[in-house]
Homo-oligomer: A and B are copies of this chain.
Amino acid sequence: MSERIIKAFKNAAIEKKNRQDYFNIAVSVDCVIFGYDNHELYVLLMQSDLEEFQGLNSLLGDLVRPSEDLTEASFRILWERTGLQNVYLEQVHTFGKVCRHPSGRVITTAYFSLIDMQHQQLNIAEHQLDWYPVRKVKRLAFDHLEILQLCLQQLQQKVMERPVVFHLLPPLFSLRELQSVFEAILGIELDRRNFRKKIAIKDWIIDTNTLEKEVNHRPGKLYKLKAGLVNNFRPYQ
């Protein structure tokens, strides 16, 4: 099998290499799991158990098994570490520097994921996971800080173009909450009236004719995401 792969690539002016050489790269995926709560964007991190990175946090990642697709591996990691299924995942970039992992050659494909951290029950304690405000994350193991930053940047770029933020919110949400999510992601304040106009134009949400409850001010209308706008299991664009 693997001899076939090497043969299949023999065509160019490459040197002959033996099996050992070509199958010496491990493949992993790392998931940047974003959550939102109370005007703040969070990322789910675990404690690195690598001695080189003692005391540092890292993203949730794992080696990809030969029998699973890259996306399957990401869904598996989310499932194994958090118990979540049916989450939104989007591939961002593959990091392939020779020395990015201290134990050997590992390339990793980064995905970001958006989840409703208030209403999904995570097995957080069980796996030593914790939510950290993205703003405050200054150091991570490996090149994970770089990965986090690129995923955030990607999220920022897409957030106004496509209806993705709704994965961070419960099924029913107020416009105030929605605006707050945008502000947390973009790191800027938005004008309420202009924001509402923009959202109205996008035609992403539906007025449910219900109101917020248990809130000590005038309750806002609750909206829901329009059906059919999101493909959860779309591995790319």
Q: Which residues of A contact B (CB under 8 A)?
A: 1-2, 4-14, 17, 21-28, 46, 49-50, 61-71, 73, 77, 80-81, 91, 93-98, 101, 103-107, 109, 127, 150, 153-154, 236-237
Asked whether B91 lies within 8 Å of A24 as measured between CB atoms, the reply is no
Query: Can you list 14 pairs linking A and B with CB atoms under 8 Å apart?
Result: A1-B103, A1-B104, A4-B103, A5-B106, A8-B49, A8-B101, A9-B63, A11-B49, A12-B80, A12-B127, A14-B80, A66-B98, A70-B107, A150-B236
- Distance between A182 CB and nearest chain B CB, rounded to angstroms: 21
The number of times this chain is found in the oligomer is: 2
A237: chain B residues within 8 A (beta carbon): 93, 150, 153-154
Nearest-CB residue, chain B, relative to A154: B237
Nearest-CB residue, chain B, relative to A60: B12
Nearest-CB residue, chain B, relative to A4: B103
A65: chain B residues within 8 A (beta carbon): 17, 21-22
How far, in whole Å, are A23 and B23 apart by their CA atoms in the complex? 5
A25-B64, A62-B12, A103-B4 given; A109·B96 CB < 8 A: yes
Asked whether A5 lies within 8 Å of B104 as measured between CB atoms, the reply is yes
Asked whether A68 lies within 8 Å of B103 as measured between CB atoms, the reply is no
Nearest-CB residue, chain B, relative to A81: B12
How far, in whole Å, are A28 and B23 apart by their CA atoms in the complex? 11
How far, in whole Å, are A67 and B69 apart by their CA atoms in the complex? 25
A107: chain B residues within 8 A (beta carbon): 27, 64, 70
How far, in whole Å, are A5 and B107 apart by their CA atoms in the complex? 12
A80-B12, A94-B109, A150-B236 given; A103·B21 CB < 8 A: no
How far, in whole Å, are A12 and B80 apart by their CA atoms in the complex? 8
A12: chain B residues within 8 A (beta carbon): 62, 77, 80-81, 127
Asked whether A8 lies within 8 Å of B98 as measured between CB atoms, the reply is no
